[in-house]
Structure 1
Amino acid sequence: MTGSAPRPFSRRLRAVLSWLHLWVGLSVGVVFALVAITGTVLVFHTDLLRLQHPQLAQHAAVADGRVLAGLVERWRPEGLRSLDLPHDDLPVWQGYFEDGHRAYFAPEDGALLLYRSHEDDVLMWLHDWHTHLLGGETGEEVLGVFGWIALGLIVTGLYLWWPRRGQWLAHLKMHSGPPVRRWLSWHRSSGALLFPLLLLATLTGVGMVYSKGFQAVLVGAFGGDTVKPPKLAGEGTVDWPQVLRQADGALPRARLSRVSVPKSDDGVVSLRARADGEWHPVGRSTIAIAKAGSGVLQVNDATANKLGMRMSQAIFPLHVGAVGGSVMKWATAVVGLLPMFLLVTGFLFWRRRRGRR
């Protein structure tokens, strides 16, 4: 009945959840806030990279197979495992190496323009913290646990804020004083107003840590198949100009985005492409070409996948704000600041309330 006093069990549950929300938030919330705030910076990773190194943007975005051949020959012994093709946002070859560092090469002649690693580049360091807590696979596992705890904080926060009928506007109001009321109202109202975006960012972050499990659940519930690349033995060098030409024509209305460097005894070259309608910045469509350039072996258009697989492949672009243009990009950046705001206002509320006792 509306307006009746809460039952004893409800009061006890609320007291327990309020205590847990406060102390877990003031402890684990510190890590959650620091991870989230680095996410705000990383939303603009490419923009900041171009700002830091303007020489990267001073090229025409041309993917020449002959330059690619030279890059693979020169850098594969150094651990080169894949390359992003030049495109409008970053018109250079971006190489990914087995030890985690990246290198950038001129599209005209393959000259080395920039070398980056988490040890000497701020953005790479922030990326390593955001995805692995600077601790490799162990750090990623710990991050996953923190992610589940953060989801618990978000859900309990919503429960503790949830107003009775007719009191919605009153519960969303941010008060200027007294201090205890101010910090509590700012904490609750900001969390409630941005709850959907905060939940989305946190849930997709957890989904990236446990990507295989999330994909299995989504595919099992909504359908989809995992496409495995074909296996083919093959020695010798790759005819890279021919491979790029064949891959470019294999999937109409798609942009080739990334090429994997095959091992010496692997007869297949795997490429990624972004088809029209895909959210992922690199694309999840795949093309497999015979190493010698003799033909297309497999084409997978990600936009034709069943719902479960498409939902799984949407986790990353939703997390990084790659969906919805600049509005969603900025909204994702703002939400990354919210956990720090909630941590500070929660701490100030606790300190003020303690001071009044």
Structure 2
Amino acid sequence: MLQLLDTLHRWAGGIIGLVLALLGLTGTILLHKDAWIGLPHVEDVQRTDLTAIAAATEKIMALPGAPQGIIYARDSFGLHQIRLDAGAGLYTDQSGAIVTRWASQWERPELWLFDFHHHLFTGDTGEWVIGIAGLAGLFFILSGVILWWRTRKTFQFRLWPKRMSRPAILMHHRDLGIIAAPLLLLSVVTGTMMIFRPFAMIVVAPFGSVDEAEKAMEAPKYKGGPLAATPDYAAMLAEAHRRFPDAEFRILSLPRAAGEPIMLRLRQPAEWLPNGRTTLWFDAATGRVLGARDALVMPSAAQAFNKAYPLHAGKVGGLPYRVAMTLSGLALTLLGSFAVWTFWFRRPKRTARPAGKAALAAR
């Protein structure tokens, strides 16, 4: 049984290990993107007064190029990010003045890295591949722990293989894997939760009703009029502030089709999700509130699901937790890349049997 498990572990690692290694590397880089995006005003203190945010919103949404939405500045990143058509976009400071713009995501490393980490540059197809890789990663962790147990007496802690030989790399892979297993389990489970909803519901089931969670997380289907020529964004922000006075504005999104509402996401202090899940929907024609969702009164299983992304992306726990997730990402990079290398390029050579024994075996 263990021999079969070992064979499955090696073959699956050789096939999908490179995907996991690249996900680990890009995820590690993205953990620290707020620190390496070196643009003017990126370290500005986040403004929270309604008047200043409303004025900047009106200014930004009136810019040429038909802005589709705003991701507002946050405490660790002092710029607003604006989405335009066809992958274009721009950053502005918190007064609405343009800092930089781009015509496609390839001009901004944080954007194409994010696209690769979440979609492998292939949209929904890439998400499926990453989801399968996540389930495979879960298998690697569990099977690796089982396989390690029989060799536990030879355990040695090394950050790098003693030699670049196949036996030394396999020993390093085994022992590094057992050390990193708890953090890898957290990374893999939370990452897979965000892609495969059925898997996510299995994980959050102990926290409450799955049916109630799925119903609470469904996107409401509000219908309104066509987008007004000059929507009153200041009034919408004021209404959102009236309903949730302690919340910060996170994302403003215009409708993608006629009749769809304007969506405004907010983050309340108790929410872990950096962009929050508290949401208001406004009629695009009149600005009238069509509906609102308070993330803090969602079913407990839904609230557990909302914690998956901040746990995965190091958005809670400050620097210590971010360092821990960095170690997890680097470990996944080493484990995945060495698994592929030893499987395809350092496989043991078959020794030829003596001619006499071969002849006897053929009889």
The TM-score normalised by the length of structure 2 is: 0.80
Q: Does 1:149 align with 2:136?
A: yes
Matches within 5 A, 1:72-151: 72-75=61-64, 77=66, 80-115=67-102, 117-151=104-138
Count of aligned residue pairs for this structure pair: 337
Q: Summarize deviations over 1:60-111 as a string: whole Å, max 9, x none.
A: 636432332232233563xx32202233322232112353343112332443
Matches within 5 A, 1:280-291: 280-289=273-282
RMSD: 3.3
* Contact 1:258/1:282 (8 A) holds in 2: yes
Which residue identity lines up with residue 57 of structure 2 in the other structure? L
Q: Specify whether residues 268 and 221 from structure 1 end up closer, same or farther in structure 2 by C-alpha distance, changes over 3 A only.
A: closer
Tell me, in whole angstroms, the C-alpha distance in 2 between the residues paired with 1:151 and 1:263.
37
1:23, distance to aligned residue in structure 2 (A): 2.7
More off after superposition, 335-344 vs 58-67: 58-67
Tell me, in whole angstroms, the C-alpha distance in 1 between the residues paired with 2:133 and 2:47.
40
Q: 1:65 aligns with which of 42, 54, 62?
A: 54
Tell me, in whole angstroms, the C-alpha distance in 2 between the residues paired with 1:333 and 1:190.
15
Q: 1:231 aligns with which of 212, 223, 226?
A: 223
1:113, distance to aligned residue in structure 2 (A): 2.8
More off after superposition, 37-46 vs 263-272: 263-272
Tell me, in whole angstroms, the C-alpha distance in 2 between the residues paired with 1:34 and 1:264.
36
Q: Specify whether residues 75 and 283 from structure 1 end up closer, same or farther in structure 2 by C-alpha distance, changes over 3 A only.
A: farther
Q: Does 1:44 align with 2:32?
A: yes
Q: 2:172 aligns with which of 175, 179, 186?
A: 186
1:218, distance to aligned residue in structure 2 (A): 4.3
Tell me, in whole angstroms, the C-alpha distance in 2 between the residues paired with 1:200 and 1:60.
30
- Extract unaligned runs of 5+ from structure 2: 352-363
* Contact 1:246/1:293 (8 A) holds in 2: no
* Contact 2:277/2:295 (8 A) holds in 1: yes
Q: Summarize deviations over 1:113-137 as a string: whole Å, max 9, x none.
A: 3337432222322222111112222
Identity %: 26
Q: Specify whether residues 58 and 283 from structure 1 end up closer, same or farther in structure 2 by C-alpha distance, changes over 3 A only.
A: closer
Q: Specify whether residues 39 and 307 from structure 1 end up closer, same or farther in structure 2 by C-alpha distance, changes over 3 A only.
A: same
Tell me, in whole angstroms, the C-alpha distance in 2 between the residues paired with 1:213 and 1:187.
27
Tell me, in whole angstroms, the C-alpha distance in 2 between the residues paired with 1:347 and 1:261.
44
Q: Specify whether residues 255 and 355 from structure 1 end up closer, same or farther in structure 2 by C-alpha distance, changes over 3 A only.
A: same
Q: Does 1:304 align with 2:297?
A: yes
Which residue identity lines up with residue 70 of structure 1 in the other structure? K
* Contact 1:81/1:97 (8 A) holds in 2: yes
More off after superposition, 54-63 vs 273-282: 54-63
Which residue identity lines up with residue 314 of structure 2 in the other structure? G
Tell me, in whole angstroms, the C-alpha distance in 2 between the residues paired with 1:88 and 1:347.
40
Q: 2:320 aligns with which of 304, 324, 327?
A: 327
1:221, distance to aligned residue in structure 2 (A): 3.3
* Contact 2:191/2:312 (8 A) holds in 1: yes
Which residue identity lines up with residue 221 of structure 1 in the other structure? V
- Extract unaligned runs of 5+ from structure 1: 1-12
